[in-house]
């Protein structure tokens, strides 16, 4: 993965670069200590729970996880217990089925809208765009009852469709905002040249814009994937039991077992597995997209 | 698969329905049916007509499989008799989700309300959606339940909820062997209880304390403390005052109520008496109620006041019996002659006016269901107030004891007050203020004043 | 067609999923196809491109937001207008004041601290060996759900009475240094800071990532020119790095502030809003759905809009300015 890391423009040779680095870097010992402290504080809690998830239940209740270093005693029983909780396998499938369209649909719709906002001038465009941006502030909680009422009226309540629709609605303002900023970055001369060649919106969109948009799409896609996969609120209200995702099952475990740390720890890591893998695999896209789309907005 | 006597089933006109339902249920939930030895007469459902192929959806806060499956199993005989398919949906977040569903017009056919107060507010707020209990079910309630239980299911003079479970809250859990070794008798008056408490406190070592308690319960944190106050109200005030208190005819900051809260505080806020195995007074606020009694098993705590359903929390391998590892005694009143009992229960309310829904409510109110539900609940933790329930069909001794207490004519039963109060108080400030009372040592007077102020004016 | 609405089992679920994606893709294709004819009136592509997104946003966000604003001026049963009574109730009740104060604390501390830590860390690990690993460590909490994060931190804050072995890391540290174990989630106002730290822990990775990318985008010639002038270390950070990444900092602050305001998961799962730790997003949920006080909930939600609006206005103004520069 490191081989394909975003290549920065390099005018200097490696040796020269290192010489420059040594001057630009904050190399004071204090700085290193701060960095190491942050890194430790940020990772230890997760590591502690990870170790805990492999310890026998009776040990977890009585001794700290750090005692494993002097007194190792590991088991995978917590994971088999957590997985034995009914329906966790099905909820995994549900999470996948809910998440994939909830990522793709808003991207499709936002691409169209962002294109119009970026490259088709019309009266009231700025106001409409500002309104779309501002609607990011609406907390999802306030939408629950009005939306559910409408879903019930059209007989779609409890289906996967309303989950996809709801996640798409909530995602659209950010998606449009990011993709718009990104499209604006593309030099107008490129678009103009295409227009002069007689290209319509569709050709401009597919041949000029889309290839340049891939990092932005990927970066929003990862954001949205994490958001939908980790969502609890929408799943609680809109999903019927048959389509309950992993987060809801884990939340139910938290409620049922109080401070049964062995189950909670294992359950938490089971729920984290997929997003962490996806995230690690795709993080370079995330960085690139955020850089281009968000930073210069 | 089923131990239902075929003669009885085929005796009625339900025979045709049977063909349907046997095929339908052979694929699912046959597991619990071998528990059922109780015989049911299918002819009782004839009056509702041919129901085969219909569905009744039930929505409840009971979500974990161990608790939900006994309910699902207990519907099997009804499903076999009528051909109705009963679909169970449990959601731990019921108290928040049910109002959302009602507001959105998405109510289930039947909702199991753990609190009559919430049921009342839903009935009043969404009166066009709720359906009063049908005549058959109402006749059953008149015949098999006490008037009190009927009253708890009644809103503004109309019966909306049928009781589907009960529990007894006035219990103190303890270890019989610890008591025996220390030479303690089961206390029968409040004074005896306090004498034992003082004696334990005087001899306690380390983290050991006479009492342990925990009121953490996620979004519902505080409710176990409200149970303490209610139990004390029944011991310091008259039953009539208790009823007035629940409707706010007696103000929450009336001296009578203050006295009850302070009586709970004489244990819960005394650092010498709590919190066995868990720490100081404040730890009560953060200890999950599910685990708060467990220090008894380690010998670090002697007594834990919690309802009959707490037996499910002791864990595997712990015997809950008079001669077992843990057992419970009745939380005594000032004298042996008084017998106030605090309890609670669930009520099933209908949201769809259809024969299968009425038939289902009729089934739930029949002695048949109560006895069958007892049999399909092998791990206990459930009982009903149905007078025709045979305690022998309850699988656990603590449930049998609870039933005896409920059925005892000397018992003065009162329903959990916070469950009856408006949600703003009963599921709101009463919980949160009691939590502050313990966690932040807020004074009793301030707590009572704040709750009184929050009482909704409508 | 029942299975289209209620697919049963993994196979059907995946099939419906593919159908759904195909459906939206073909909507998009159709819009493009219809608008791409020569001599179309100019409004056709505009309506076609914006229509679906604007309709969904209007239905899913604008309409509920307006409903909420109206409800905030109504009584509990929504059958009479009560003016500002609900707001008066909020501003006269000390419990609600506490909620507002907490929300303000969250709003200020989470964006500022996560951005500061993220920036410092991004600078510190820039171009060191193991940079990727060092960044991934800080980054990972972002991939974890807030429920997962709450479980992790509840365990760190776990309390056992003195004399018993601690199982929570923080109390073990206290005991090791001879202090009394503390109930971090119980005692205000410290408990609010304990919760805020969890949110900072989640958000710092985001800040670090974006800011690190921005730092790397600083043109080399600027850095080299500064070096020739003898600028290095802290000075480089203050005079070159900070001004260059200023726009990125604003984006990061805004994004984190909005995420913070709306997030209720951390409070909901760690304290349930008890012990004076509630924030508006959590209190809205409790009031509206648990306590059956939707009018109070609506007024709280409107206050939430009001608190965020300066951030939105600031960003919109920024957007305008940068549009003007183009």
Query: CB distance A149–B103 less than 8 Å?
Result: yes
| Residue bearing tokens 């270093």 | A69
Phi, psi of A42 (to 5 degrees): -75, -25
CATH number of A84-293: 1.10.3720.10
Q: A255 contacts in B (CB within 8 Å)? A: 63, 92, 218
Inspect the interface and report whether the beta carbons of C6 and A242 lie closer than 8 Å.
Answer: yes
Closest by CA position to A102, among listed A11, A175, A198, A25: A175
Contact criterion met (CB < 8 Å) for B439 and C76: no
pLDDT digits (tens, 9 = 90+) for B194-244: 999 999 999 988 889 999 999 988 778 899 999 999 999 999 999 999 999
Taking the CB of residue C113, how many other CB atoms lie within 10 A of it? 18
* Fold of the B171-342+414-454 domain: D-Maltodextrin-Binding Protein; domain 2 (3.40.190)
The least confident of A278-287, B157-166, B336-345, B409-418 is A278-287
For residue B22, name the pLDDT band (cuts at 50, 70, 90).
very low
- Inform me whether the pLDDT recorded for B84 exceeds 80: yes
The rounded percent of chain B whose pLDDT value lies above 70 is: 93
A150 neighbourhood in chain C, CB within 8 Å = 59
Residue contact A86–B65, C-beta within 8 A: yes
Q: Which residues of A touch C264 (CB under 8 A)?
A: 141, 233
CATH number of B49-168+343-403: 3.40.190.10
pLDDT digits 0-9 by tens, A159-199? 899 999 999 999 999 899 888 888 887 888 888 888 888 87
What value does the mean pLDDT take over residues A9-13?
50
Name which of C152, C147, C125, C145 is nearest C136 in CA terms.
C125
Q: Which residue has the tokens 């706010």?
A: B248
C-beta atoms of C77 and B125 within 8 A: yes
Distance CA B325, CA B314 (A): 10
Q: How far apart are CA B141 and CA C90, in angstroms?
A: 44
Neighbors of chain B with 3 or more C-beta pairs under 8 Å: A, C
pLDDT at A258 over 70: no
pLDDT tens for C143-172 read 888 888 888 898 899 888 887 888 889 999
Q: What is the mean pLDDT of residues C1-8?
A: 78
CA distance B208 to B340: 30
- In this predicted structure, the answer to whether residue B33 has a pLDDT above a threshold of 70 is no
Nearest CA to CA, how far is A58 from chain B (Å)? Answer: 12
Which of B95, B103, B283 is opposite residue C161, by nearest beta carbon?
B283
**Domain ranges in chain B with CATH number 3.40.190.10:** 49-168+343-403, 171-342+414-454
CA gyration radius, chain B: 23
Three-state SS at B205: coil
The chain C residue lying nearest B442, using CA atoms, is C275
Name the CATH superfamily housing domain C87-325: MetI-like (1.10.3720.10)
**pLDDT attached to residue B302:** 96
Q: How high is the pLDDT of residue B266?
A: 95
Per CB-CB distance under 8 Å, the chain B contacts of C272 are 218-221
A149 or B176, greater pLDDT = B176
Instruction: Inspect the interface and report whether the beta carbons of C50 and A113 lie closer than 8 Å.
Output: yes
| Residues B305, B163: Cα–Cα separation, whole Å | 25
| Structural tokens at position A23 | 């001057």
Helices (H), C82-93: 85-92
Interaxial angle between packed helices B239-247 and B255-268, expressed in degrees from 0 to 180 and rounded to the nearest 10: 100
Nearest CA distance, B409 vs chain C (angstrom): 36
Confidence of residue A35 (pLDDT cuts 50, 70, 90): confident
Q: Does B104 or C101 have the greater pLDDT score?
A: C101
Pairing of strands B301-305, B171-174: antiparallel
Among C53, C57, C308, beta carbon nearest to A112 = C53
**Considering CB atoms only, which of B97, B121, B282 is closest to C292?**
B121
pLDDT of amino acid B9 = 34
Three-state DSSP at B137 gives helix
- Residue C23 near residue C32, CB atoms below 8 Å: no
Residues A192-208: tens digit of each pLDDT: 888 888 877 788 888 88
User: Quick one: pLDDT band at residue A254, thresholds 50, 70, 90?
Assistant: low
> Minimal Cα–Cα distance from C34 to chain B, Å?
37
- CA atoms within 13 Å, Cβ hemisphere of B88: 20
All structural domains of chain A with their residue ranges: 19-75, 84-293
Q: Residue C275 and residue B439: Cβ atoms within 8 Å? A: yes
Query: Using the beta-carbon criterion (under 8 Å), do B93 and A236 form an inter-chain contact?
Result: yes
Cβ-defined contact of B105 to A149 (cutoff 8 Å): yes
Residues of B in contact with C185 (CB under 8 A): 286
A48: Cβ contacts below 8 Å, ≥ 6 apart = A65, A66, C152, C155, C156, C169
pLDDT band at A13 (very low <50, low <70, confident <90, very high): low
Q: Evaluate whether B61 touches B92 at the Cβ level (below 8 Å).
A: yes
Candidates B213, B218, B381; CA nearest to B313 is B381
Q: What is the pLDDT of residues A73-95, one digit of tens each?
A: 888 888 888 777 656 778 888 99
Q: Residue A2: what pLDDT? A: 36
Give dist(CA C199, CA C260) in Å, integer: 8
Comparing B358-362, B386-390, C228-232, which segment has the lowest mean pLDDT?
C228-232
When mean pLDDT is compared across B45-54, B99-108, C32-41, the lowest value belongs to: C32-41
CB within 8 Å: B104 and A145: yes
pLDDT at B4 over 50: no
- So what's the pLDDT on residue C314? 84
Compute the distance between CA of residue B305 and CA of residue C260 in angstroms, rounded to an integer: 40
Report the neighbours of C using a cutoff of 3 or more CB pairs below 8 angstroms. Answer: A, B
pTM over 0.90: no
pLDDT > 80? residue C325: no
Are B279 and C276 an interchain contact pair (Cβ–Cβ within 8 Å)? no
Helix, strand, coil share (%) of chain A residues, nearest 5: 80, 0, 20
Q: Does B286 touch chain C (CB under 8 A)?
A: yes
The most confident of B59-63, B443-447, C143-147, by mean pLDDT? B443-447
Question: How distant is the Cα of A258 from the closest Cα of chain B, in angstroms?
Answer: 6
Nearest to B104 among A148, A241, A254 (CB): A148
Which residues in chain B have their CB less than 8 angstroms from residue A252's CB? 63-64, 92
């Amino acid at each position: 993965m490191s081989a394909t890391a975003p290549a920065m423009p390099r005018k200097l040779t490696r040796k020269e670069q290192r010489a420059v680095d040594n001057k630009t870097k904050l190399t004071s010992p204090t700085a290193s200590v701060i960095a190491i402290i942050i890194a430790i504080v940020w990772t230890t809690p997760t590591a502690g729970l990870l170790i805990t998830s492999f310890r026998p239940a009776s040990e977890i209740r009585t001794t700290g996880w750090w005692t494993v270093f002097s007194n190792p005693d590991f088991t995978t029983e917590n994971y088999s217990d957590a997985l034995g909780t009914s329906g966790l396998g099905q909820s995994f499938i549900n999470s996948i089925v809910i998440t994939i369209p909830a990522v793709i649909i808003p991207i499709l719709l936002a691409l169209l809208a962002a294109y119009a906002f970026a490259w088709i001038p019309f009266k009231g465009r700025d106001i409409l765009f500002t309104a779309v941006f501002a609607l990011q502030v609406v907390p999802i909680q306030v939408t629950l009852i009005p939306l559910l009422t409408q879903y019930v009226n059209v007989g779609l309540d409890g289906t996967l469709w309303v989950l996809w629709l709801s996640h798409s609605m909530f995602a659209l303002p950010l998606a449009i905002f990011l993709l718009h900023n990104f499209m604006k970055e593309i030099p107008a001369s490129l678009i103009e040249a295409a227009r002069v060649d007689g290209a319509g919106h569709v050709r401009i969109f597919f041949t000029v814009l889309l290839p340049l948009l891939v990092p932005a799409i990927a970066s929003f896609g990862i954001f949205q994937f994490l958001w939908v996969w980790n969502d609890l609120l929408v799943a609680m209200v809109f999903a019927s039991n048959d389509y309950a995702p992993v987060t809801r099952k884990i939340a139910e475990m938290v409620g049922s077992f109080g401070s049964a740390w062995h189950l909670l720890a294992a359950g938490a890591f089971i729920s984290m597995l997929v997003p962490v893998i996806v995230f690690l695999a795709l993080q370079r896209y995330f960085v690139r997209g955020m850089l281009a789309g968000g930073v210069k907005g | 698969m089923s131990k239902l006597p075929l003669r009885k089933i085929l005796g009625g006109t339900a025979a045709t329905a049977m063909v349907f339902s046997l095929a339908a249920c052979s694929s699912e939930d046959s597991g619990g049916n071998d528990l059922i030895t109780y015989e049911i007469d299918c002819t009782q459902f004839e009056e509702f007509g041919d129901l085969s192929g219909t569905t009744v959806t039930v929505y409840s806060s009971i979500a974990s499989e161990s608790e939900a499956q006994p309910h699902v199993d207990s519907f099997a005989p009804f499903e076999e008799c009528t051909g109705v398919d009963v679909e169970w949906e449990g959601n731990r977040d019921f108290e928040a989700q049910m109002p959302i569903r009602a507001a959105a017009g998405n109510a289930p056919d039947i909702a199991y309300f753990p609190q009559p107060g919430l049921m009342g507010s839903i009935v009043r707020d969404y009166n066009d959606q709720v359906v009063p209990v049908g005549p058959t079910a109402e006749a059953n309630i008149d015949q098999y339940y006490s008037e009190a239980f009927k009253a708890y299911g009644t809103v503004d003079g109309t019966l909306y909820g049928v009781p589907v479970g009960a529990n007894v809250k006035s219990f103190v859990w303890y270890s019989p062997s610890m008591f025996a070794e220390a030479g303690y008798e089961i206390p029968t008056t409040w004074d005896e209880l306090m004498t034992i408490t003082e004696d334990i406190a005087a001899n306690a070592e380390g983290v050991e304390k006479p009492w342990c308690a925990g009121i953490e319960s996620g979004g519902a944190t505080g409710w176990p403390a409200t149970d303490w106050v209610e139990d004390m109200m029944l011991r310091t005030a008259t039953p009539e005052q208790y009823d007035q208190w629940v409707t706010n005819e007696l103000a929450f900051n009336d001296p009578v109520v203050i006295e009850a809260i302070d009586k709970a505080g004489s244990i819960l806020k005394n650092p010498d008496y709590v919190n066995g195995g868990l720490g100081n007074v404040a730890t009560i606020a953060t200890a999950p109620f599910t685990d708060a009694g467990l220090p008894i098993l380690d010998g670090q705590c002697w007594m834990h006041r919690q309802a009959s359903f707490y037996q499910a929390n002791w864990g595997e391998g712990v015997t809950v019996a008079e001669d077992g590892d843990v057992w419970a005694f009745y939380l005594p009143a000032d004298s042996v002659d008084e017998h106030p009992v605090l309890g609670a229960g669930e009520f099933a309310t209908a949201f769809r006016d259809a024969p299968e829904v009425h038939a289902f409510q009729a089934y739930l109110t029949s002695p048949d269901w109560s006895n069958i539900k007892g049999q399909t609940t092998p791990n206990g933790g459930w009982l009903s107030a149905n007078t025709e329930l045979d305690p022998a069909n309850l699988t656990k001794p603590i449930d049998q004891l609870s039933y005896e207490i409920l059925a005892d004519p000397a018992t003065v039963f009162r329903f959990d007050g916070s469950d009856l109060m408006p949600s703003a108080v009963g599921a709101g400030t009463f919980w949160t203020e009691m939590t502050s009372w313990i966690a932040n040592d807020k004074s009793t007077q301030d707590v009572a004043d704040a709750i009184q102020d929050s009482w909704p004016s409508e | 067609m029942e299975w289209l609405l209620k697919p049963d089992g993994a196979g059907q679920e995946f099939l419906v999923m593919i159908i759904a994606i195909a459906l939206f893709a073909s909507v998009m294709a159709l819009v493009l196809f219809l608008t791409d004819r020569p001599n179309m009136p100019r409004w056709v592509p505009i309506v076609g491109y914006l229509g679906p997104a604007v309709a969904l946003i209007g239905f899913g966000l604008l309409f509920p937001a307006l409903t909420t604003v109206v409800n905030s001026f109504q009584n509990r049963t929504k059958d009479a207008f009560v003016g500002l009574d609900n707001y008066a109730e909020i501003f006269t009740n000390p419990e609600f004041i506490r909620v507002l104060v907490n929300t303000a604390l969250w709003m200020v501390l989470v964006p500022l601290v996560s951005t500061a830590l993220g920036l410092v860390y991004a600078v510190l690990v820039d171009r060191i060996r193991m940079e990727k690993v060092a960044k991934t460590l800080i980054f990972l909490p972002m991939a974890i759900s807030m429920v997962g994060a709450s479980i992790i931190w509840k365990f760190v804050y776990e309390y056992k009475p003195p004399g018993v072995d601690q199982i929570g890391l923080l109390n073990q540290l206290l005991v090791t240094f001879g202090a009394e174990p503390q109930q971090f989630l119980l005692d205000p106002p410290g408990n609010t800071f304990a919760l805020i730290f969890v949110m900072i822990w989640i958000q710092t990775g985001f800040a670090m990532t974006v800011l690190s990318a921005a730092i790397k985008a600083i043109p080399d010639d600027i850095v080299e020119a500064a070096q020739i002038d003898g600028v290095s270390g802290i000075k480089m950070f203050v005079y070159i790095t900070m001004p260059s990444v200023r726009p990125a900092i604003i984006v990061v602050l805004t994004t984190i502030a909005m995420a913070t305001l709306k997030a209720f998961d951390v409070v909901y799962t760690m304290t349930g809003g008890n012990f004076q730790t509630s924030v508006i997003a959590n209190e809205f949920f409790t009031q509206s759905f648990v306590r059956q006080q939707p009018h109070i909930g609506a007024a709280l939600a409107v206050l939430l809009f009001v608190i965020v609006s300066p951030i939105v206005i600031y960003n919109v103004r920024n957007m305008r300015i940068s549009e003007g520069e183009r």
